[in-house]
Amino acid sequence: MSNLKVNIIIEALQKVLPAGRESVALHEPCFSGNEWTYLKECLDSGWVSSVGRYVDRFEGMLAEYTGVKRAVAVVNGTAGLHMCLKLVGVKGGDEVLMPALTFVATANAVVYCNAIPHFADSEERTLGIDPDKLWHYLHDIAEMRSEGCFNKKTGRRIKAVVPMHTFGHPVDLDTLVELCRQYKLELVEDAAESIGSFYKGRHTGSFGKVSALSFNGNKTITTGGGGAILTNDEELGKLAKHLTTTARIPHEWAIEHDAIGYNYRLPNINAALGCAQLEQLPGFLERKRNLAENYRKTFEGIDGVHFFTEPHFAKSNYWLNALVLEEDFADHRDELLEMTNKLGIMTRPAWTLMHKLTMFGNCPKMDLSVAESLGRRRLVNIPSSPVLGGSYA
Amino acid sequence: MSNLKVNIIIEALQKVLPAGRESVALHEPCFSGNEWTYLKECLDSGWVSSVGRYVDRFEGMLAEYTGVKRAVAVVNGTAGLHMCLKLVGVKGGDEVLMPALTFVATANAVVYCNAIPHFADSEERTLGIDPDKLWHYLHDIAEMRSEGCFNKKTGRRIKAVVPMHTFGHPVDLDTLVELCRQYKLELVEDAAESIGSFYKGRHTGSFGKVSALSFNGNKTITTGGGGAILTNDEELGKLAKHLTTTARIPHEWAIEHDAIGYNYRLPNINAALGCAQLEQLPGFLERKRNLAENYRKTFEGIDGVHFFTEPHFAKSNYWLNALVLEEDFADHRDELLEMTNKLGIMTRPAWTLMHKLTMFGNCPKMDLSVAESLGRRRLVNIPSSPVLGGSYA
């Protein structure tokens, strides 16, 4: 019975995916644009490192595409998140609200600030943080003081909320923005997965006071390793650039620094790759949406599972496509994972939930029943490369 | 009178440096090997990011060249140092001995561990930490307890010593190793500047329990941005790899982590550049030593200044060549800097000493008279690119 269903799902996947390939990756990059030309220009000019025109150009292109005032290129998404939390004033001993269902970088970045992750539940319609449930929770545990929002149970200040746009699907940002206003919390978007994803027409990462993008090799566009900080606050943007480039005071020759700084700058050679990739983003997105639409149609009539589609208020990048198993089929998730991977169709479950990891086991958390159900039992990511959604010119 | 001396120095520089160039950089990279081929291989294979054969190959080549058991490629030298300190067990509230005369990354890395930099003096013969002076200092301030070495004045544990091989010139490692043994301090070499530099025939970075290299764009070889951790302790090497790659537990599909990890891995595309550069290192070193020899001879008879040459126990990479001004000429350092930079000959003073930076002003320190004299008044770096030391095939 179960095997039958697993087989039906595998057949559906095979219908969408190209035949004759030995294996189909979860997400592979595509270098069909100016990557070559730009890399060569870097080598020929000798500018491969921390200074160079591609860093400026990449930052300009990112700001324009996402509609923010300032984008600062950094060495990866984790570094970007770390800086975002510093920039909004997260201090040692603060608590930071974030989803339990996320990649570990979100929680690690909080710990780099000597702060404490505080885990919130997700909702079925976005796979991201549930703002209404969080609102009720804060009503119970939060106490407003002149210094901000405090957790009555732990006595610690709650400084920020970090929603993550899971697999590229935007969370309900309007409600979260309102919640942050009411509780005097800083909004930092973990937009690591959501370049090319829009909430009510505005790009994800433009709602938070600062936000972080990622261009890791498995992302929609890649710089090898890389990320960016987005902000509409020009002063914070300047500070982001300063702190990520060792906080050096500009001078023709003297080498002086005025703060604890970080070596988080993106090398020029990686930025060159980023420029070429960003030029191709619209094409990548089109193909990824084609692929998602193929999945959606193919899984439409299949019992026990549905293909996750963007929330009504969003236009998603469909970074990682996801199947959601019905509760009564969830026990067969591992069977599905095992069989697909054996067949060379790369699939994977959601990340282990943050509160289940040893190092975060004692962190504060609300009821996490939806995250538990989705993350531990019901989510399966399936191949999502742009190349699977149409041929390249 | 002074102007005359400044002019003589400038004439000497012009004698060594190529004529007719609009400007001569302090250190520019050279890409005359397999850079192209390897980068192309990355793009063609799609492996540009965190996984790929160049990372493994670069690590293997580095371990072989430096003679250590394990090299772990990381995103830059600062990240490498941060991990080194974690790996030897530096904890919040510990003190870490390090030179006042260094680049700010050495001190920042200590602060990332919530530890406190404790500044030590340098010696004229190496420009690095003075082990004899440090020995006398520890004799006065250190108290040995079962938990290790404690600072009697501050009550804090002193956990490690981080010598930095200034401009590529090795410090007196034998004496430091002995000092660390006596005081139960961990030795971590900041070898960011010293790839290709040897102390009594052994590569710098192979004496510390763990050590950090840098491949920033201004270094002897470059990966755009990059660095490495070196160690002869295989267990620590494994742990270094684990912690710098998000501490993920290996599994075919499940995503689980067992410690606070870091996203410090070097992307494959940067490692590819590193492989090509490392292949050319012997040639770069030869040309850099030619250039240094030219400088040495040219400055031999000139009053008020000498060209810094490697300590007797060392074979240096001469990463950044340095002039040392005599005390009675030191007041004219800024004039020399100004005139050379105006003429397009890039020169610069040493870094602002660490204890003079706002954020480290209250850190503990010993008498720093030699570092003060050298760093604040007497050191001037002069052009050092390998291309200046001979023509390329």
Specify the domain boundaries for CATH 3.40.640.10 within chain B: 35-278
CA distance B84 to B212: 7
For B167-232, give the secondary structure using H, E and C: HHCCCCHHHHHHHHHHHCCEEEEECCCCCCCEECCEECCCCCCEEEEECCCCCCCCCCCCEEEEEC
A93 CB near a chain B CB, below 8 Å? no
Residue B16's H or E segment, with its range, is helix B2-16
ipTM score of the complex? 0.95
> Strand, coil or helix: what is A233?
coil
The helix/strand/coil state of B244 is helix
* Domain ranges in chain A with CATH number 3.90.1150.10: 2-30+281-389
How many residue contacts between A and B have a Cβ separation below 8 Å? 178
Which residues does chain B have within 8 Å of residue A114's beta carbon, measured at their own beta carbons? Answer: 114
Residue B390 binned pLDDT confidence (cut-offs 50, 70, 90): confident
Task: For domain A2-30+281-389, give the CATH number.
Answer: 3.90.1150.10
Read off the pLDDT of residues A34-86 as tens digits, 9 standing for 90 and up.
999 999 999 888 876 666 799 999 999 999 999 999 999 999 999 999 999 99
Gap from B366 CA to chain A (nearest CA, Å): 21
Interchain proximity B263–A46, CB inside 8 Å: no
Q: What is the pLDDT of residues B221-231, one digit of tens each?
A: 999 999 999 99
* Chain B positions in Cβ-Cβ contact with residue A380 (cut-off 8 Å): none
- The residues of chain A that CATH labels 3.40.640.10 are 35-279
Does A51 contact chain B (CB < 8 Å)? yes
- When pLDDT is averaged across residues A321-339 and rounded to a whole number, the result is 95
Out of 3.90.550.10, 1.20.1730.10, 1.10.443.10, 3.40.640.10, select the CATH number for domain B35-278.
Answer: 3.40.640.10
- CB-based contact (8 Å) between A393 and chain B? no
- B80 has a chain A CB within 8 A of its CB: no
pLDDT at B393 over 70: no
A188 DSSP β-pair partners: A210
**Residue A108 at interface with chain B, using a CB cutoff of 8 Å:** yes
Q: Rounded to an integer, what distance in angstroms lies between the CA atom of residue B291 and that of residue B304?
A: 21
Query: What pLDDT sits at residue B4?
Result: 87
Q: Beta A186-190 vs A157-161: how paired, if at all?
A: parallel
What mean pLDDT is reported for chain A? 95
Residue A212: beta bridge partners? A190, A229
Alpha carbons B315 and B196: distance in angstroms, whole number? 8
| B243 has a pLDDT exceeding 80 | yes
Å between B204 CA and nearest CA of chain A: 23
Helix (H) / strand (E) containing A279 = helix A268-279
Q: Tell me if chain B has a CB within 8 Å of the CB of A347.
A: yes
Residue A250 has pLDDT above 60, yes or no: yes
pLDDT band at B50 (very low <50, low <70, confident <90, very high): low
User: Does the CB of B294 have a partner CB in chain A at under 8 Å?
Assistant: no
A198: β partners: A203, A315
Cβ distance B43 to A35 less than 8 Å, yes or no, reads: yes
To the question of domain A35-279 being in CATH 3.40.640.10, the answer is yes
Q: What is the mean pLDDT of residues B241-248?
A: 96
pLDDT of B22: 83
The mean pLDDT value of chain B amounts to 95
Query: B352 contacts in A (CB within 8 Å)?
Result: 254-257
Alpha-carbon distance A91 to A302, whole Å?
49
The A202-203 sheet, strands edge to edge: A202-203, A198-199, A314-315
**pLDDT at residue B47 tops 90:** no
Please give the Cα distance from A84 to A214 (Å, whole number): 13
Of chain B, the percentage scoring pLDDT greater than 90 comes to 92
Q: Is B392 a residue whose pLDDT tops 70?
A: no
Q: Is the pLDDT of residue B52 over 80?
A: no
Chain B residues within 8 A of A252 when measuring between CB atoms? 341
Fold of B2-31+281-389: Aspartate Aminotransferase, domain 1 (3.90.1150)
